[in-house]
Amino acid sequence: MIEAHGYAAKTAKSRLEPFSFERRDPGPKDVVIKILYTGICHSDIHQVRDEWGGARFPMVPGHEIAGKVVAKGAGVTRFSVGDLAGVGCMVDSCRVCPSCQEGEEQFCDSGPVWTYNSIERDGKTPTYGGYSNLIVVSEDFVLRLPDNLPLSHVAPLLCAGITTYSPLRRFRVREGMEVGVVGLGGLGHMAIKFARAMGARVTVFSTSPSKESDARKLGAHDFILTKKDGWGTSVANRFDLMVDAVSADHDLAPYLGALRKDGSVVLLGVPEKPLAIHSFLLISRRRNLTASLIGGIRETQEMLDYCGQKDIVSDIEMIPIQKVNEAYERTLRGDVKYRFVIDMATLDT
Ligand code: NAP
Ligand code: ZN
Ligand code: ZN
């Protein structure tokens, strides 16, 4: 076994604190990655606080991992020691079910092995995430990272990037389309960048007046403050696609009402309460309500290569790991532009 250390929460009510644990020795197909940067996703907060149920403690969160290969098994063919390497939300899956065969391992029939808060395919070993110094992962679940982009800004692409890129591609976003982005946070700011790069006209829906100038700098054409009453009427029946990246409970009716015939709202956020939707909103213009879950490994690689070509990265605020609890509080207050990234070199200071 390899000694590893990072930050963990011991219970749903505790703060993250230093934690030592073991990683497996690399098998023939495994790479060992020294973690340099890890993004803080709102899903880390949901899980650490057990908002989705079934949390496993101690929990080392982190699924936006960027680093360098420092060792590898004899059968590894795609990576060499010294290569940049990324790990997202998954570290394994059954590999044989229809979804795995189609490259959509996130929908694996047996359930993918999540990077943390999950159990390896041996049925007993807990997984620990990227708020740590190193990780051991099968090369099939390791991503190549573009070497022309700053690595700390690349880390959030491993979740916020793929989660927004995937639905935009699925709905073939292109010039002439009207795309709405609901919630300007970590996911939302990537959705603006991608939708704009794909040629759409982009409108941001936000509860925060202070984010208007940022939204426009990030590429949005329009900004709609959803705190004002009656905002829905100004945009009714206009949008082809709306990606909803809001982390908290909110009313979907005005967003559905903003769709044109056959338009779609894609849910990305995972608020706590179930939704209440009047079916008339869908029926009246044959609108679709759907959702999306990260993206498969193949599409994640495609997204990273696309970012390399188009110079797309996340806007970040770098923090030392000692500030991780404060960063959680600030994320909950919406006080981050637009992703916290932990500088993992600070783990040993
Ligand atoms: P984030 O950075 O905290 O952004 C969430 C945004 O939601 C905020 O910036 C805010 O935008 C808006 N918001 C927050 N509270 C709100 C409220 N009470 N009413 C309306 N809007 C509110 O979070 P994130 O990391 O982007 O994640 C967003 C959600 O996606 C989380 O639920 C996360 O778990 C989920 N997620 C899903 C997937 C997937 O595969 N589907 C992957 C990753 C994350 P404004 O200030 O602009 O209103
Ligand atoms: Zn995430
Ligand atoms: Zn499978």
Matching residue, tokens 């008339």: 280
pLDDT tens-digit map of 68-103? 999 999 999 999 999 999 999 999 999 999 999 999
Residue 165's domain spans which residues?
161-291
Last residue of a domain, one of 291, 312, 328: 291
d(CA 221, CA 59): 40
DSSP 8-state assignment for residue 273: S
Q: 272 pLDDT band (50/70/90 cuts)?
A: confident
| One domain for residues 225 and 113 | no
Last residue of a domain, one of 291, 314, 339: 291
Task: Please state, rounded to an integer, the average pLDDT across all residues of the chain.
Answer: 97
Instruction: Identify the pLDDT of residue 234.
Output: 87
Strands 90-92 and 84-87: unpaired
Helix (H) or strand (E) holding 244: strand 239-244
Q: What is the CATH number of the domain that holds 275?
A: 3.40.50.720
Which ligand is the nearest neighbour of the Cα of 292? 1
Helix (H) or strand (E) holding 178: strand 178-182
| One domain for residues 23 and 152 | yes
- pTM of the complete model: 0.98
Instruction: Identify the pLDDT of residue 82.
Output: 98
| One domain for residues 169 and 273 | yes
Phi, psi of 302 (to 5 degrees): -60, -45
Last residue of a domain, one of 253, 275, 291: 291
| One domain for residues 76 and 149 | yes
Determine the average pLDDT of the residues in 22-45.
98
pLDDT tens-digit map of 280-310? 999 999 999 999 999 999 999 999 999 999 9
d(CA 238, CA 218): 22
Whole-number Cα distances in Å, 174 to 12, 196, 216, 295: 42, 9, 19, 19
Instruction: Give the Å distance between the CA of 273 and the centre of ligand 1.
Output: 14
The pair of structure tokens assigned to 229 is 């009453």
Instruction: Identify the pLDDT of residue 39.
Output: 98
Instruction: Identify the pLDDT of residue 262.
Output: 98
DSSP 8-state assignment for residue 97: S
| One domain for residues 64 and 142 | yes
Cβ contact 197:310 at 8 Å: yes
Instruction: Identify the pLDDT of residue 273.
Output: 85
* Residues near ligand 1 (Cβ within 6 A): 41-43, 46, 159, 163, 183-188, 206-208, 211, 245-248, 250, 268-270, 292-294, 331, 334
| One domain for residues 258 and 336 | no
Percent of the chain topping pLDDT 90: 95
| One domain for residues 175 and 128 | no
| One domain for residues 10 and 101 | yes
| One domain for residues 191 and 146 | no
Domains of the chain: total: 2
| One domain for residues 178 and 166 | yes
The pair of structure tokens assigned to 281 is 């909103």
| One domain for residues 134 and 194 | no
In sequence order, the 6+-apart residues with CB closer than 8 A to the CB of 3 are: 20, 22
Determine the average pLDDT of the residues in 179-207.
98
| One domain for residues 108 and 20 | yes
